[in-house]
A = this chain, B = another copy of it.
C-alpha cells in the first residue's frame, strides 16, 4: 500500500500544529528529569481542555463510586459512605452479569439514559426529554462523527456541506473533510466578543452555493476556543435560520457547566427551540452533545458522553440505531461517571457536604481565573482578550512584522512560533490559534481556564514576562 493508494480523504489530512509542540514538551520534560537547569522546574500544560492534566483534582464521590463498581469487595469495608455504596450497588445491578466488564447496549445502559433524560428535563425547565432519543457514546466528538456519517453522503456530487465556526478545533474540521464532506467556514465576530451573527451565516451559505450542498449547521456553545456564551436572542435567530434553510442543527454544548461571565447564563438549544413553540419546536432537527470530560468532573480519560436527538424523522432514527449498533458500547465506567454527573449527591446525602465543597471550590476557581486572565492580558501591550464568559479564553496577539518574518524563516505559522518560544523559554504549553482557524492576518492563543488558582497565577506570570520580552525582541 503506497501513499498514493490510500484513501484520498486521509491523504488530504495535514499533521496537527500541536504535534511538534507536544514532542518538544516531551523533550523538555525528559531534560528536566535528567537535571538540566531551565528557568522553570516544570511545564504547565494547558494545551488541551483537560482539567486533571491542568492540575484539577477528581471529585471524590465520582471516584469512590467507580472504584466500588470495579472492585465490589470495597463495599464490604467501612471506608466508603453509605450513599457511595448504595449508588455502586444500584449501578452494578444495571450491568449484565453484575460486572462493569460486560458489554452494554450500544446506546448505553437504559437506566443511565433514563437518568440523563431526567437531568435534561430538569435543566430545561421541564421541556420533556425521552431516554429513547439519547445515545450514550465514548465522547461528544465520537457522537458528532457518527451523526455526520449519517448526514454526509460520501458519494454525493456536489459534496455535502457543514457550516462550521471559525475558530473551531482543527480535529472537527478534519473529521468532516475526512468523511468526504466540506466544512463551510463561518466567522465568529471577535470585536463583538466572539458572537455568532446570522448575517455571517447567510454570507457563508451564499459563498458555498454551487460548491457543495449544505445540510447542517454546527455551533459550539459555550464556545471552544472562543469562550463566548450565546444569548437567548442569538439562539432564536439561529433557530429561525436553520428552519428557513432546512439545516440540521448540531449543538456542541459540552461546556455548559463552565459559565463564569457576569449576567451570563447557559440555555440549551433544545430549551430555546421548545419555548419558541410550533411550528419550529416540532420541525427543527437538532442533535445536542454533552460529555463527562468537561464540567466539574473533568473525566476526559474515562471517555463518555451522550447525544440527544430532537425532531428526527422516525425512519432516520431507525437507521441511526442500526448504524450505532455496528460499534461496541461506550466504556462502562465512563457511562457510570456520566450517571454521577447528571445525578450528583443531593443536600442531606452523606456525601453531599464534600461533593458540594469540591464543586464550589472549582466554581470559585473558574470565576477567579477568568477574571485574572482578562485583566492580565488586557494590561499587556499588543495583546487583547474579549470577555471570558465560558470554557476557554482565546486572546489575540498582535505580532510584530519581524516576528512573523522570523516564523516564516523557521517554517512555522506565526502563532506556533510564539507558542514554541513560550514553551521553550517559559515552560508553558498552549495551543496556537492556527490550530483553530482565524481571520487572515490575526493571531491567537487558546488558554484553558480550569487550572488550580496558584497554577493560573504562575502561568500568567510566565506568559506576561515572556510576552513583554518577545514583543521587545521584534519591535
**Nearest neighbor of A180 in chain B, beta-carbon distance:** B154
Give the residue among A70, A79, A154 with the most B Cβ atoms within 10 A.
Answer: A70
Decide yes or no whether A5 CB sits under 8 A from chain B. yes
**Is the CB of A64 closer than 8 A to any CB of chain B?**
yes
With a cutoff of 8 Å between Cβ atoms, the chain B residues found around residue A179 in the complex are: 154
Question: For residue A77, which residues in chain B have a CB less than 8 angstroms away from its CB?
Answer: 79
Which residues of A from 419 to 455 have beta carbons under 8 Å from B? Answer: none
CB of A153 closer than 8 Å to a CB of B:
yes
Q: Chain B residues near A326: list those with CB within 8 A.
A: 13, 171, 174-175, 178
Choose the segment among A50-58, A119-127, A229-237, A367-375 that binds chain B (4+ C-beta atoms closer than 8 Å). Answer: A50-58
- The docked-state distance in angstroms from the alpha carbon of A1 to that of B151 is 8
Answer whether residue A334 sits at the interface, using C-beta atoms and an 8 A cutoff: yes
Does A464 count as interface, using CB distance less than 8 angstroms? no
Would you give the 0/1 interface string for A1-21, flagging 1 where the beta carbon is closer than 8 Å to chain B?
Answer: 111011111110111100100
Judged by a CB distance under 8 angstroms, whether A327 is at the interface is yes
Interface flag for A48 (CB, 8 Å): yes
| Chain B residues near A99 (CB-CB < 8 A) | 52-53, 58, 301
**A16: chain B residues within 8 A (beta carbon):** 322, 325
Q: Check A149/B7 contact, CB under 8 A, given A141-B328, A300-B101, A331-B302.
A: yes
Task: Please measure, in the bound complex, the distance between the C-alpha atom of A150 and the C-alpha atom of B10, giving whole angstroms.
Answer: 6
Interchain CB contact under 8 A, B52 and A102 = yes
| Contact yes or no, B7 A302, CB < 8 A | no
Determine, out of A184-192, A194-202, A311-319, A397-405, the stretch whose residues face the partner at the interface.
Answer: A311-319
The reply to whether A323 and B54 form a contact with Cβ atoms under 8 Å apart is no
Docked CA distance A100–B79 (Å) = 21
Greatest chain B CB density within 10 A among A101, A179, A327 is at A101
Give the CA-CA distance A299 to B297 in the complex, in Å.
Answer: 24
Near B by CB (< 8 A), chain A positions 46-94 give 48, 50-55, 58, 63-64, 66-67, 70-71, 73-74, 77, 79
Inside 8 A of A66's CB, which chain B residues have their CB?
A: 70-71
Is residue A136 contacting chain B, with contact meaning CB distance below 8 A?
no
The 8 residue pairs across chains A and B that have the minimum distance between CB atoms? A301-B332, A67-B71, A52-B99, A3-B315, A154-B154, A331-B331, A52-B101, A53-B102
Interface residues of A (CB under 8 A from B): 1-3, 5-11, 13-16, 19, 22, 45, 48, 50-55, 58, 63-64, 66-67, 70-71, 73-74, 77, 79, 95-97, 99-105, 138-139, 141-142, 149-155, 171, 174-175, 178-180, 215, 248, 285, 297-303, 312-313, 315-316, 318-319, 321-323, 325-334
